Amino acid sequence: MKKLKSKKSSLKNRSIDFLKDIYHNPLKMIGELFKHIKLYLTTNVFFCLFVVFNVVNGVMLRYFTTGSVDNLLAFQPLLADIAVIVCLGALGYFMHHKVRSCYWFILTLVCSVVCIINSIYYTFYSSYVSVSLISTAKYGEDVSDAIIDIITFKDFIYVILPICLVFIYFKLLKKKYFVERETKNEEPKKAFSTLVCGALIGFVFVSTLNGTDISRIAKQWNREYVVVKYGVYVYQINDVIKSIEPKISALFGYDEALRKFNEYFIDKSEVPETNKYTNVLEGKNVLVIHAESIQNFVIGLEINGELVAPNLTKLANSGLYFSNFYTQVSVGTSSDSEFTFNTGLMPANSGTAFVSYFDRHYISVPSLLKEKGYYAASMHGNVASYWNRSVMHKSLGYDEVIGKSKYDIDEVIGLGLSDKSFFRQSVQKLKKISDKHDKFYVTMIMLTNHTPFYVDDGFDVTLKVEEQDENGNDVVNTYPYMEGTKLGKYLKSVHYADEAIGELMAQLEEEGLLENTAIVLYGDHDARLPKKEYQLFYNYDYANDAILPKDDPNYKVFESYEYELNRSTPFIIWTKDKKIKGANMNREITTVMGMYDVMPTLGNMLGFYNKYTFGHDMFSLKEDDNIVIFPTGNWLTNKVYYNAQKVETYMIGDSILPENYIQDNNKYAEEVLSVSNSIIVYNLLDTVDKEEKDEIDESVIVEGAG
């Protein structure tokens, strides 16, 4: 007991002496501190290089993905990267000296692979990869050409430093650097001091964060914001936790999710509002065309006086054309579009609804139309199991899923059966469905216009200009323009897809299938074309075969926000009758619209209603303003595009924003994303369905008793 007191007293005295030294001679203590740091750096060269190389890779990833110098020099993510790498690396000191360097190299290799994958992924999705997508990796083989097409040298720059680390290791080994340090047996002490150092750096980093930063990493809707603020390594660790969380929270967070769900929908009407478009399509067949990668800017677009998409332009000009329509896809791309189109819900935050949450109960367009006597089928020239459609389409209420095995693969372009052959064969299948059933709801999923855009059907993307030669004679000169560019390939591919749609419409007319059918066409997502090629597209200087200088009066600004707004896709509702029950079926609607607005809009026209959707009936809007929320947390109205990653506001037109407009919409966007995700994760619609059935059963019992 006396010895214990003696030790405590001795420790206390040393601590007091240490504090006195700092107080009386701070410069001496600082000098001692720097001496210890110098000693640590010189005796742990390999470890320090391991830390520096991985931190540099993290910095390069932020710079090459977001393209911002501010992110290159940002202090917060730098601290976060250092803290993570130092703490992970410190564990190596607990290992045997013969495997320690191997551990550090393997960790460097893992970090480099993380950077490479995220670099490639960001190019295509403008976001960062999640481990929850492992279950979708099997679909990568089918789009391997598209992946190869977007890979560039910068995606592999992250392997340079690991290779350098190997050379440094062998150089140090040759100088017997490791042998000299292995005899000191100070590794546990180094491990502890290194962990403490990493923890201190982490503490300094955390102290710089505010409530918004912490909230965003907890939710992780906004992946770019998390990487820019926390660094890629913190993001990736947090992503692993968030990917596991749904499995855990589904067991423990149900009550809280149900409470927020009920609060959100408690004031929503049990019956829809009516307007002049209510029930105008009731009883009509519905043919949905899922137009792969078709963007709005191609409608009405001419090159050398020839329309790129004459049939789509004709449909838009003769139907209900929603010209400001945006898909709200996440990592599930096409499958996310199908999901939101049919349910009015946002894509899942983690993984994809089609693959990760196919076994949930959904209120969908096919299931609601089946209650009205419709037969529902989906058709696709790809394998039915792709994106788990064969299972998920059944969950959505389709009676039949017609995939590749049901088609004669007589013409292959790109990823599979060509659109022209697909439509030709599908019309015959549709005719059989029509003969057998009174009403049908059929979805046809196009395929050919998929990146990397294989089709070259002769459409000319060069520029032809009438000029005079040196003798004064009129001649037509040809300039390269979009030839050989990815955007040029896309325009050729769109022209082919448009021809296929034209042939489909002609075949439907010939078979008499347009008489009582509404055509609903939507672009499933944008083509994710390089922004720099739009600069060439809009600002081509044919005289110099270059891009116009920015000070030229004809120069069109096309920066990041113009690019975002250009990602809109067409949404068209077309019927042969241009006026049904007094409603004009030939007009353009310019109000901003999202994919989650489709279900309530179509429901109003077809006579069904789903209370549990997040969109709006476009014909019941009280004002010419609607909000489109994206899975990243960004949102768009007719007045503004708000970038939640960068916390930036891009004004559209000269609108004056009402007070608290940004704050209110931010709050609303977060609520929608949270509640929608809870519906999917906790299967809340199954609970609602059971409660409604119980209420019906109880009312029947009461009536019977009466």
Stated as kind and residue range, the H or E segment containing 113 is helix 97-125
Domains of the chain (ranges plus CATH)?
44-252 (no CATH), 260-700 (3.40.720.10)
Query: Which range has the worst mean pLDDT, 109-123, 303-317, 683-697?
Result: 683-697
- For residue 27, with 0-12 CB atoms within 10 Å meaning exposed, 13-18 middle and 19 or more buried, which class applies? exposed
Other C-beta atoms lying within 10 Å of the C-beta of residue 32: 13
Q: Which amino acid is present at 640?
A: V
Question: Is 356 a residue whose pLDDT tops 50?
Answer: yes
Query: Which range has the worst mean pLDDT, 9-18, 153-162, 354-363, 433-442?
Result: 9-18
pLDDT value at residue 177: 66
Question: How much is the average pLDDT of 495-523?
Answer: 97
| pLDDT bracket for residue 365 (50, 70, 90) | very high
β-pairing, 593-594 vs 587-589, is: unpaired
Question: How much is the average pLDDT of 510-524?
Answer: 96
Question: Is 474 a residue whose pLDDT tops 80?
Answer: yes
pLDDT value at residue 437: 96
pLDDT value at residue 183: 45
| pLDDT bracket for residue 696 (50, 70, 90) | very low
**Can you say how many angstroms the Cα of residue 629 is from the centroid of all Cα atoms in its chain?**
12
Residue 501's nearest CA partner among 301, 267, 316 is 316
211 vs 182: CA distance, rounded Å: 46
pLDDT value at residue 2: 44
Most confident of 152-156, 237-241, 272-276: 272-276
pLDDT value at residue 416: 86
Most confident of 185-194, 292-301, 414-423: 292-301
Residue 291's nearest CA partner among 458, 454, 502, 97 is 502
pLDDT value at residue 495: 96
Question: Is 4 a residue whose pLDDT tops 50?
Answer: no
Residue 541's nearest CA partner among 554, 559, 560, 557 is 554
- Contact yes or no for 590/571 (Cβ under 8 A): no
pLDDT value at residue 226: 84
Q: Which amino acid is present at 242?
A: K
pLDDT value at residue 336: 94
- Contact yes or no for 177/51 (Cβ under 8 A): no
Question: Is 178 a residue whose pLDDT tops 90?
Answer: no
Helices (H) then strands (E): counts for the chain: 26, 24
DSSP string, 667-690: HHHHHHHHHHHHHHHTTHHHHHHH
What average pLDDT is seen over the chain?
86
pLDDT value at residue 99: 84
Question: How much is the average pLDDT of 141-163?
Answer: 73
β-pairing, 640-643 vs 635-636, is: antiparallel
Question: Is 5 a residue whose pLDDT tops 50?
Answer: no
DSSP string, 75-105: HHHHHHHHHHHHHHHHGGGGS-HHHHHHHHH
| pLDDT bracket for residue 142 (50, 70, 90) | low
pLDDT value at residue 596: 98
- Tokens for 252, please give them: 């423990």
pLDDT value at residue 145: 56
Question: 421-447: per-residue pLDDT in tens?
Answer: 999 999 999 999 999 999 999 999 999
Question: How much is the average pLDDT of 240-249?
Answer: 68
pLDDT value at residue 65: 84
645 vs 222: CA distance, rounded Å: 6
Residues 6+ apart with CB under 8 A from 21: 28, 29
Question: Is 9 a residue whose pLDDT tops 60?
Answer: no
Greater confidence (73 vs 14) lies with 73
Q: Which amino acid is present at 690?
A: K
β-pairing, 635-636 vs 628-629, is: antiparallel
Share of residues in the chain with pLDDT > 70 (%): 84
pLDDT value at residue 622: 82
Question: Is 701 a residue whose pLDDT tops 50?
Answer: no
pLDDT value at residue 149: 61
pLDDT value at residue 702: 45
pLDDT value at residue 349: 85
Please give the sequence-ordered ranges of beta strands (E in DSSP) within 235-370, or none if there are none.
Answer: 285-291, 302-303, 306-307, 320-322, 325-326
Please give the sequence-ordered ranges of beta strands (E in DSSP) within 461-533, or none if there are none.
Answer: 463-468, 474-479, 517-523
| pLDDT bracket for residue 645 (50, 70, 90) | confident
pLDDT value at residue 650: 95
- Contact yes or no for 309/498 (Cβ under 8 A): yes
Is pTM beyond 0.85? Reply is no
Secondary structure string (H, E, C) spanning 400-464: EEECHHHCCCCCEECCEECHHHHHHHHHHHHHHHHHHCCEEEEEEECCCCCCCCCCCCCCCCCEE
